[in-house]
Amino acid sequence: MPEGHTVHRLAAAFEQAFGGQRVRTSSPQGRFSEAAQLDGMVLLGAEAVGKHLFLLFAPSDDVDRGSPVVRHVHIHLGLYGSWTFAGEPGFADAHAIGAPRLRIGEQEEQLDGGGVSDWRRLVPRPTVRLRIAGPQGLADLTGPTACEIMDAQERQAVLDRLGPDPLRADANPARFVDAVRRSRTTIGALLMNQKIVAGIGNIYRAELLFRARLDPFVPGNELSAGTLEEMWEDLVALMTYGARTGRIVTTQPEHRDIEARIVERSRGTRQNGDEDPDVVSRERSFYVYHRQTLPCRLCGTAVRSTDLAARTVFWCPRCQTARRRRAGWTREHPAAPWALTPGSSGEAAA
């Protein structure tokens, strides 16, 4: 499932590709018949809140975003959803975001000349829930958990049930701190609860807890406000980097070549730009995520994994022993002469 930084990248891609333009909308699959109501409207913009994407449609480009005539298309990609883009050069920075998918046209009927030379002639696959086409390109949505039209009140109801989003300017970290400290649920489970904090997925959970030296099974109400405030600051830095680059990188440069391995599933952990030799590879990007049974990069102890909140949590049983005390990489690790700076994304420090 895409984590929050990916959805923010999607919102930026839609702003770039279609913002302020009159677009054509359709549902080749037929499961989003409401697309006909939007056909010919202007896409005013896009908004990301945690793992939720909202596309704003209006009759004209001079309509205020708060007007009752604005229609909000709410999309949650879930585990299998994906957007793919095709168009003229420079149309969109990304060609696919979400679950792994082929680029639009790769399995379509070949056009004259033996290749896809005109995006306007691309026939949508029968699984496309929603197609949006503008003057310079198009975007196809497949496999989402949710794709529905909402009014302003329904949109607000979605926002009201979400915790603060570290990538939004209106996020209030005090809500996160207070919600965690009121709960006896483990911090590892709370971080996956979108009502506590919006946008965190399994990678950010595992890596954030490692960087904070926190035992995933500590109850939230045992943590100090200072510890949680430091975690929030670190999360903002990590997710901001992820939104900018499309990659989650949590390791400091000096640690990346230590035990540079991960234990991948058959499909592996894919990130934006994996094919680029100049980016930090996924084998060098994480401290504990998908590193179960491998030696910890800092202390050499075998990384462990178990189920927590319906997902697998990864942690180092030696490094992550902090419970009630303030946790942070402000002092040297007991088994290694390295110190991490709270709030640093690693890659930014490279």
pLDDT at residue number 100: 56
Check whether 172 has a pLDDT greater than 80: yes
CA distance 207 to 286: 7
pLDDT at residue number 323: 63
Are residues 221 and 186 in contact, defined by beta-carbon separation less than 8 angstroms?
no
Tokens (6 digits) for 34 = 């409401």
Are residues 100 and 270 in contact, defined by beta-carbon separation less than 8 angstroms?
yes
Dihedral over alpha carbons 255, 257, 258, 263 (to 10 degrees): 110
Q: What is the mean pLDDT of residues 71-77?
A: 97
87-91 LR contacts (CB < 8 Å, sep 24+)? 87/17, 87/119, 87/134, 87/136, 87/137, 87/138, 88/119, 88/136, 88/137, 91/17, 91/136, 91/137
∠ CA 83-73-2 to the nearest 5 degrees?
A: 40
pLDDT at residue number 111: 32
Backbone dihedral region of 167: left (phi > 0), alpha (psi from -120 to 50 degrees) or beta? alpha
27-35 LR contacts (CB < 8 Å, sep 24+)? 27/128, 27/129, 27/130, 27/131, 28/124, 28/125, 28/126, 28/128, 28/131, 29/126, 29/127, 29/128, 29/129, 31/129, 31/147, 32/129, 32/130, 32/147, 32/148, 34/148, 34/149, 35/130, 35/131
pLDDT at residue number 324: 53
Are residues 302 and 294 in contact, defined by beta-carbon separation less than 8 angstroms?
yes
Please name the residues in contact with 66: beta carbons below 8 A apart, sequence gap of 6 or more.
152
* String of DSSP letters for 210-235: HHTTB-TTSBGGGS-HHHHHHHHHHH
Residue whose pair of structure tokens reads 């109400």 in the numeric block: 221
pLDDT at residue number 89: 83
CA distance 15 to 37: 21
Specify the CATH architecture of the domain 164-349. Orthogonal Bundle (1.10)
Q: What is the mean pLDDT of residues 130-157?
A: 96
- How many helices (H) and strands (E) would you count in the chain? 7, 12
Q: What is the mean pLDDT of residues 283-295?
A: 96
CATH number belonging to the domain at 4-159, selected among 1.10.3720.10, 3.20.190.10, 3.30.830.10, 3.30.300.30: 3.20.190.10
Check whether 96 has a pLDDT greater than 80: no
Residues assigned a catalytic role: 2-3, 51, 311
Give the sign of the dihedral formed by CA 251, CA 306, CA 165, CA 92.
Answer: positive
pLDDT at residue number 277: 66
For the stretch 298-350, pLDDT in tens is: 999 999 999 998 899 999 999 998 765 444 443 333 333 333 443 444 444 33
Check whether 107 has a pLDDT greater than 90: no
Check whether 270 has a pLDDT greater than 50: yes
Average pLDDT, the chain: 86
Domain ranges of the chain: 4-159, 164-349
For the stretch 120-130, pLDDT in tens is: 888 999 999 99
pLDDT at residue number 330: 38
* String of DSSP letters for 161-188: TS---TTSTT--HHHHHHHHHT--SBHH
Q: What is the mean pLDDT of residues 34-41?
A: 97
